[in-house]
A and B are shown apart, each in its own frame.
Chain A
Amino acid sequence: MEEFLQPLLNGQQWINGLSQGAVYALFALGFTLVFGILGLINLAHGANYMWGAYIGWVLVTSTGMPALVALPLAMVASGLMAVLLERLAFRPLRALSRGSSVLWVGFIILLIAFVMGGPRAARLAVGAVGILVMLFGMVLDARGYGPVHERDVPHLSPMISSLGASAILVFLAQAQFGAEQQRYPFGPLQSTRFQLGEAASISLVQLLILLSALVLVVGLHLLIQRSRVGRAIRSISWSERTARLLGVDVDAVVARTFFVSGALAGAAGVLIGLLTNAIRPDMGVGIAILGLTAIVVGGMGSIIGAIVGGLIIGLLQTFSVAFISSEFRDAIVFALLLLVLFFRPSGIFGRSSATRA
């Protein structure tokens, strides 16, 4: 018996599991924020995370900047990507405006520029036109041009359109970076280790992950609980209609929520890239399932639940590798998902509404 429980006493496993779980927690926070405010799952969140990882990779490898500088830059970039995603995939389903349609035309021109052959200059020119048209669409929206059709779409529609967005993003990454796996440079972040006690050590990157997760979580908590935007987010998650009646600019708040959610996904992407040294275009699907499991376990829409859920998943994965085998670690997480759905669908923190975003 004692021998069987040996892995549980191994501090190294706990450190590995917690740092893995901290990344999942960051990822799951983005899910839960959007779920809290819109009541739907953004299935493109995994693609956003993957792009965050690739943006960080490009910054680190091509400009040679340190990972600590690349991390916030990649967060901002993937946050902006999430905002664009919201404009393309979610907002037209809440209310269809002329601006959204123009934005879509511009996006299609941009995609054509990306896939078309021909000289580089021509592609750049078409791409520039696409971006200009997209900007024009955003200006139209900002100035409230034309009729806006409030819509009442089936509630599955946003999930389906985010799935389409996810497919587009994954294929774009495949075209740009190749389908095979890319490596983050191995550096002092990975090789520097601090000894903790006799049997355990923590690498600098694990320390970085735990610290940045802590900073981001505290920052998010302050943002939600103390700031004006946070108050608006909480009011919308309580009742969108009431918030709108009370003068909350719902579209602007949703855009900011998506920015924060995308930035968290980007942070998770860069950190997992640093931790595992390997990124692939399809890495978003796997973590999407893990992240969803994390928020179901923790309780959908709950911030503390996402953090606890993410840590539980990270530890469960690490220990299932230690106890059973690495081949079944995703299957075990999935079994946990089904068990929680069956026996406690509200999750650990699902009941108390005070913790909800």
Chain B
Amino acid sequence: MNMKSSVPERRDFPADIVFAVLVLALLSVIALRDLLPAAIAAPIQSLFRPYVSILEFTLVNAALALSIYLTLATGLLSLANAGFMALGAFTGALLTIHLEWPVWACVLAALFLGALVGALFGRPVLRLRDVYLAIATLGFGEIVRILAINGNTIAAFFLRRDPAEVRIFSGAEITRIPPPRRVETWHLVIYLALVIYFFIVLRRSRWGRTLAAIRQDDAAASAMGINVARYKTFAFAAGAAIAAGAGVFHGMLVRGVDPASYGFSRAVDILAFAVLGGVVSWIGPIVGAGILTLFPEVLRRQQIERFLSVPTEIFNGILIGVILMLAIIYLPRGIADPLFWGRLFNRRTRTVARPLHKADPADTATESSQPSTRVD
């Protein structure tokens, strides 16, 4: 059922590309301020200086939100992206500290490693019903943490050396990345632009249409001869790679990789970005990441803690949880959904909002009583 919306909508106005150009133009002005002539750069510099740091985190979060978007839009719930972010952050930090690799080389390595681990890890799990993916990915971040903390022991085993000699990882301590500052704003802008470019190309490609078909109904897609597991693995691995790349930047921005900071609550944050923005198109996750990164910052600058009896981090955590739940209940297509704004401002053109990856409740009920249904 729901055949109508499985056909990609024909659009006369390439809204996504216009949006991308506008956002990137604005960001480039801020990001390239160092390269501009001093006369032009100075006012821009002073105007944006207080916001540079928060802008950089917004950009990293936008990339993270896009990393989970691809899996969500394929109808998969992956909670592993915080773990892949940690994977990237460790890769970047260790390559920088021990081998003095430049940033882009670290990012490339992280992208490759993320895709590889994502494919190896996703392949067995994705052959099954997608509820298993959420289960299996829930523990992934924990595994990365355990491996990082015990990294020296493992490395010693493979290098056949005495564990006491190996000093590659910092154990449970924060892996500090020494100065100088290695990541500039324009690095992040370029990374985000590349990710967006990937999504624009993907959406119009055969692979993108195949993923859309799987999202609509993976049984039907499978019946059409699509190797569903392969495409799901692709989506999962691509998301993993994007998250790992963003992790490199995140580690460099905070100048240290703390194994404890990529846990459950980070996974919820990343999911909240994408869900609040919606997974109708790639614009949603970026909008969601922007709102959820800037909003706590605005509150902080308004000195919200004066009105609170709990620490600000706890307040932010509760807020993100509430926003995540309210978004999924009241804005199932996300806040960046054109239909939502259309309905808000023009009540006459009320259209039924179709959820994206829908499932008939009756089908879910019967399917779920056969937990072993393989999709391929």
Contacts and interface: CB of A to CB of B under 8 A. Distances in A.
A166 B264 CA distance: 10
B25 interface: no
Interface stretch (A7-15, A17-25, A271-279, A329-337): A329-337
Contacts of B128: 341, 345
B136 A171 contact: no
Contact of A164 (B143, B150, B324, B364): B324
Contact of A111 (B318, B358, B360): B318
A346 B127 CA distance: 13
Interface in A55-103: 88-89, 92-94, 96
Contacts of A285: 138, 142, 263-264
A328 B150 contact: yes
Interface stretch (B45-53, B179-187, B308-316): B308-316
Interface residues on A, range: 35 or more
Given A285-B263, A331-B143, A345-B372, A39 B329 contact: no
Interface stretch (A136-144, A186-194, A292-300): A292-300
Contact of A289 (B139, B268, B332): B139
Contact of B138 (A115, A118, A292): A292
A172 interface: yes
B256 interface: no
B147 A153 contact: no
B131 A160 contact: no
A180 to B, nearest CB: 13
A351 B134 CA distance: 22
A331 B147 contact: yes
Contact of B371 (A43, A92, A350): A350
A296 B360 CA distance: 24
Contact of B125 (A282, A292, A330, A341): A341
- Looking at chain B's contact residues, the main secondary structure is helix
Interface in B92-132: 124-125, 128, 130-132
Contacts of A115: 308-310, 314-315, 318
Contacts of A3: none
A152 interface: yes
Contacts of A108: 322
Contacts of B358: 152-155
Given A159-B134, A164-B325, A168-B322, A154 B359 contact: yes
Interface in A259-314: 282, 285-286, 288-289, 292-293, 296, 299-301
Interface stretch (A200-208, A212-220, A238-246): A238-246
B174 interface: no
Contacts of B322: 108, 111, 164, 168
Contact of A96 (B272, B329, B368): B329
B322 to A, nearest CB: 6
Contacts of B75: 154, 156
Contact of B372 (A89, A156, A288, A351): A351
Contacts of A330: 139, 142-143, 146
Nearest to B279: A154
Interface in B175-196: none
A225 interface: no
Contacts of A301: 368-369, 371
B134 A116 contact: no
A155 B142 contact: no
Contacts of B275: 160
A338 B125 contact: yes
Interface in B260-318: 263-265, 268, 271-272, 275, 306-311, 314-315, 317-318
B327 to A, nearest CB: 9
B355 A154 contact: yes
A287 to B, nearest CB: 11
B272 to A, nearest CB: 7
A16 interface: no
B369 A171 contact: no
Interface residues on B, range: 35 or more
A327 to B, nearest CB: 5
B324 A161 contact: yes
Interface in B223-250: none
B317 A167 contact: yes
Contacts of A167: 264-265, 268, 317-318, 320-321, 324
A97 to B, nearest CB: 12
B260 to A, nearest CB: 10
A327 B146 contact: yes
Contacts of A320: none
Contact of A117 (B79, B307, B355, B357): B307
A221 interface: no
Nearest to A31: B135
A164 B321 contact: yes
Most buried by A among B75, B320, B322: B322
Contact of B124 (A41, A88, A328, A342): A342
A350 B132 CA distance: 14
Nearest to A91: B329
B325 A165 contact: yes
B367 interface: yes
A195 interface: no
Given A175-B314, A334-B139, A353 B369 contact: yes
B24 interface: no
Contacts of B149: 327
Most buried by B among A164, A299, A328, A350: A164
B139 A88 contact: no
B55 interface: no
B366 interface: yes
Given A346-B371, A350-B371, 18 more contacts: A43-B134, A115-B318, A117-B307, A155-B358, A155-B364, A161-B329, A163-B268, A164-B321, A167-B268, A168-B321, A171-B317, A289-B142, A300-B131, A300-B371, A330-B139, A331-B143, A337-B136, A337-B139
29 contacts: A43-B134, A92-B329, A111-B322, A114-B310, A116-B309, A117-B306, A118-B309, A123-B309, A153-B358, A159-B131, A161-B325, A164-B325, A164-B328, A166-B321, A239-B366, A241-B362, A241-B365, A285-B263, A285-B264, A286-B142, A289-B138, A292-B138, A301-B369, A327-B149, A328-B146, A337-B136, A338-B124, A338-B125, A338-B136
Closest 10 CB pairs of A and B: A39-B368, A346-B372, A164-B324, A168-B321, A167-B321, A171-B317, A164-B325, A300-B371, A342-B124, A289-B139
